[in-house]
Structure 1
Amino acid sequence: MNMMISRRVAMTGLAAATAALPVRAQVFPPAGYGTPAGTAPFPPGVFQERRRRLMEKLGGGVALLFGAGKPSGISAVESPFTQNADFAWLTGIVDEPDAVLVLAPGERNVREYLFLPSRDPEVERWEIERLPLGAELERRTGFQRVQRASAVGSVVTALASQNKELHFLGPVVGPDSPMPKVLEMYGKVAQRMPGVKITDSSKILTGMRLVKDPAELALIRRALAATARGHMAGMRGVKPGMSERQLKDIIEAGFREGGGEGLAYSSIVGSGRNAASLHYVGGGGAIRDGDLILVDAAASVGGYATDITRTFPANGRFNARQRASYDLVLAAQEAAASRLKAGVYYYDLAEAAKEVFRKAGRIDQFYHGLGHQVGLDVHDAWDQSLPIPAGAVMTIEPGLYSQVDNEGIRIEDMYLVTQTGAQRMSTAIPRTADEVERFMAGRS
């Protein structure tokens, strides 16, 4: 009895002592520390509005979207992480691997969830501190509800039991590709929840991403300014005798000096015969006097890509045969660009360019697509079966490739589609043969 009383007294005393201590709030890293750091490249409200518009188009049901997974490998140094573009466009969460988005348009209360992996303090000692759940995490991300990823299955199942429709937002993959994680989860839920159907809504998100808003266009224009700086540095700095890799270093340094934050893709610099390989992966070739040099390289800003190709002579002057081929490629580009406006189809643009090559008897030397959309991905989301809308940003990039003639020529520019035509966005970079020669003649 005395022992029991003593124990109660001791416990009561411990409780009283604990209650007397000051209450400590949840400890968060200060601003600028920890991950997620916030949303990028825009504040949370931009992404909240995008999700609102998507949910309005979905109308009801449940939509699940997985972010990119953590890079895998055995190296002690992690590979750079790149977020899934659909996920980044809807959430602005670009620094958090293995995140998951769930939308429930038909729900009255909680309509959007962000799921993040569980914390691991031991891993964080090696990598980066991660935020605990709480108000600060919701403030940084702009999400109504943030939970741990272990709860995704149960939340989706509970929502599906009420809404009975699961929206597939993509990605659409071929039959030989691995099954998308979202379809795997939908299949499991549907097998356990009678009456639930899976709806293909992938074209909705693709269509939304296709039309760029003013803030997106501003970032693309900044990236184009940096890209122009790099291409012109290459034209100015090239000298016969240097290597392709040395020229690439000059170009990429120009991107950085012009405000570029990264490369939109791995730069291609091919001289002479090497330029006839469409996606040339070398770099050790020597640049010879009389060679044409094909440079397909571009900067990115705020995660938004650009894509520009220029072809120019190593010595600053096209010979007669080179100029004739170059002018033919330019004519094909202009034939397609003259038809580009809201409502046209990609096929018709491609045929306009091909007709130029057919008439010249050189159609067999043009064997790739005419162009593509550009945005968060350098080859951005796009359904070619639909007409191109106003506000889309796309490339037109015809080319001719001949290993027999030891040359490849491609001219690639970016265009903003309008209701009545298209604006060439990359006007700062010399493009015609005369413009290229005049610019290169001014080299010191």
Structure 2
Amino acid sequence: MWDRRSIIAGGTASFLCAAGLRAQVLPPQGFATPSGTVPFAPDVFRERRRRVMEALKDGVAVVHGAGPVESSAAVAPPFVQDGDFAWLTGIVDEPDAVLVMAPAERTVREWLLLPSRDVESERWEVERLPLGTEVERRTGFSRVARTGGLGSLVTALAERSKTLHFLGPIVSASAPVPKALELYGKVMQRVPGVSLKDDSGLLPALRIVKEARELELMRKAMAATARGHLAAMKQVRPGMTERQLKAILEDGFRAGGGDGLAYDSIVATGRNAASLHYTGGGGVIGEKDLILIDAAASVGGYACDVTRTFPAGGRFTDEQRASYELVLAAQAAAVARLKAGVYYEDLVEAAKDVFRKAGRVDDFTHGLGHLVGLDVHDVGDMSKPLPAGAVITVEPGLYVQSANYGIRIEDLYLITPTGSQRLSEAVPRTVAEIEAAMGR
């Protein structure tokens, strides 16, 4: 039996050494979470946090990651990390994680907080790392703690800095209060003189302009997406179900190097295509149907977004061609104005003018496009002039349930100082290109 005296005397040296060694036996890389930073090395995310803290200058900022997926279904949806948190940390496999930044602190300016471990639940779900040098190495944070200490940490920092920065998101009055605002309210009730500053526009302003490394991943995602769309065009046959065609499409994404879906694939035939976000899959493809596919692969968590509409039999009818080319003309009118400094609302009006002149504007029932990046509907203030380096969709459409069709043409564009670059050019788009690709 070991007593205090023998420990002091060093009698337990071998025992303590062995215990210490056992404590340091950790899972190798590729096992346990957090697995590391995705899709870039920790220094990329450290530099992004530095830029944010340089802009904030002082105070405290808290960014919460997404909560765990709650589902009673036999096949639960996958966990998807909050975009801002993922962009700042690269930690995509830890629900309920928290980032704390304090730019004016003398030594430590950033903390990663992770939920406490539950070794019993880990036997059923996924193993998680204990705190220590390995989790610090994988994440690139020199200070990793548990979320149970979040309140005391932010209170202590706020007591010194007297400013709390809110980085978003702004939500509607009927939505739950964002976790950061809820925490800030409690801190302000307990620390006199603390003020709240709205910096919710900072992260969207930084994220809207894509880094070269982000564009590289988006181009890879687009190459995989093009392979899937081409496979669907070539292999579609009347009598197939939408679900069968969807399997061909997504197999093409994987074969092309996609490692995920940018969003749930929409494969809609005939009348189903007139439902903008159709979620079914049992429709049977008819010989004269137009098929609408809105689907894209992702690579490294980065999305792209493409929609194509094509004839099941391989040839557009005269009526189908006329409507299709009207949609294409509306897209071209908007793209002609697309360059750095343009207002999104001016693009919308350019497309609508084409439909108005044709007497079809009431059949265009949705927005013209959205920003794309780490999220398929990415952040950025589209009420302001669009900057060079932003990536945006242009996706006009016509939807007529009574005529059993919906037509949407969606392409992805990188905005440049003088115009734009179509990132989705490998996916057939014109009537001639589509019919040639289908080869019927």
TM-score of the aligned structures, taking structure 2 as reference length: 0.96
- For the pair 1:403 / 2:401, whether they are aligned, the reply is yes
What is aligned with 1:19? 13
* Alpha-carbon distance between aligned partners in 2 of 1:325 and 1:347, rounded to the nearest angstrom: 24
What is aligned with 2:128? 130
CA distances 1:174-204 after superposition (whole Å, capped 9, x unpaired): 1111111111000111111111111111111
Q: For residue 108 of structure 1, what is the amino acid of its counterpart?
A: R
C-alpha spacing 1:10/1:228, structure 2 compared with 1 (3 Å): closer
- For the pair 1:249 / 2:247, whether they are aligned, the reply is yes
What is aligned with 1:392? 390
C-alpha spacing 1:316/1:20, structure 2 compared with 1 (3 Å): closer
* Alpha-carbon distance between aligned partners in 2 of 1:421 and 1:11, rounded to the nearest angstrom: 77
- For the pair 1:372 / 2:370, whether they are aligned, the reply is yes
- For the pair 1:343 / 2:345, whether they are aligned, the reply is no
* Alpha-carbon distance between aligned partners in 1 of 2:64 and 2:270, rounded to the nearest angstrom: 44
**Pairwise CA distance, 1:72:** 2.2
Q: For residue 378 of structure 2, what is the amino acid of its counterpart?
A: D
What is aligned with 1:221? 219
CA distances 1:69-99 after superposition (whole Å, capped 9, x unpaired): 1222446876421111110000000011110
**Pairwise CA distance, 1:254:** 0.6
**Pairwise CA distance, 1:161:** 0.8
**Pairwise CA distance, 1:20:** 4.0
What is aligned with 1:61? 59
- For the pair 1:332 / 2:297, whether they are aligned, the reply is no
Structure 1 stretches lacking a partner, 5+ long? 1-6
Alignment of 1:214-293 (within 5 A): 214-293=212-291
C-alpha spacing 1:18/1:86, structure 2 compared with 1 (3 Å): same
* Alpha-carbon distance between aligned partners in 2 of 1:334 and 1:431, rounded to the nearest angstrom: 12
Q: For residue 60 of structure 1, what is the amino acid of its counterpart?
A: D
What is aligned with 2:300? 302
What is aligned with 1:37? 35
Q: For residue 361 of structure 1, what is the amino acid of its counterpart?
A: G
* Alpha-carbon distance between aligned partners in 1 of 2:75 and 2:247, rounded to the nearest angstrom: 24
**CA RMSD of superposed structures (Å):** 1.5
**Higher gyration radius (CA):** 1
C-alpha spacing 1:149/1:433, structure 2 compared with 1 (3 Å): same
* Alpha-carbon distance between aligned partners in 2 of 1:184 and 1:190, rounded to the nearest angstrom: 10
- For the pair 1:415 / 2:413, whether they are aligned, the reply is yes
CA distances 1:335-373 after superposition (whole Å, capped 9, x unpaired): 111111111111001111001001111000001000000
**1:147 aligns with one of 145, 148, 152:** 145
TM-score of the aligned structures, taking structure 1 as reference length: 0.95
Structure 2 stretches lacking a partner, 5+ long? none
Q: Secondary structure at the match of 2:12?
A: helix
* Alpha-carbon distance between aligned partners in 2 of 1:432 and 1:336, rounded to the nearest angstrom: 16
Q: Secondary structure at the match of 2:427?
A: coil
C-alpha spacing 1:358/1:239, structure 2 compared with 1 (3 Å): same
C-alpha spacing 1:312/1:151, structure 2 compared with 1 (3 Å): same
**1:313 aligns with one of 311, 314, 318:** 311
Q: For residue 311 of structure 1, what is the amino acid of its counterpart?
A: T
Q: Secondary structure at the match of 1:369?
A: coil
How much identity, in percent, do the aligned residues show?
65
Q: Secondary structure at the match of 1:416?
A: strand
Q: For residue 342 of structure 2, what is the amino acid of its counterpart?
A: V
**Pairwise CA distance, 1:244:** 1.1
What is aligned with 1:438? 436
CA distances 1:194-233 after superposition (whole Å, capped 9, x unpaired): 1111111111101111111011001100110010000000
* Alpha-carbon distance between aligned partners in 1 of 2:263 and 2:350, rounded to the nearest angstrom: 28
**Pairwise CA distance, 1:65:** 0.6
Q: How many residues align?
A: 435
**2:90 aligns with one of 81, 88, 92:** 92
**2:110 aligns with one of 106, 109, 112:** 112
C-alpha spacing 1:74/1:330, structure 2 compared with 1 (3 Å): closer
CA distances 1:398-419 after superposition (whole Å, capped 9, x unpaired): 0000112111000000000111
What is aligned with 2:170? 172
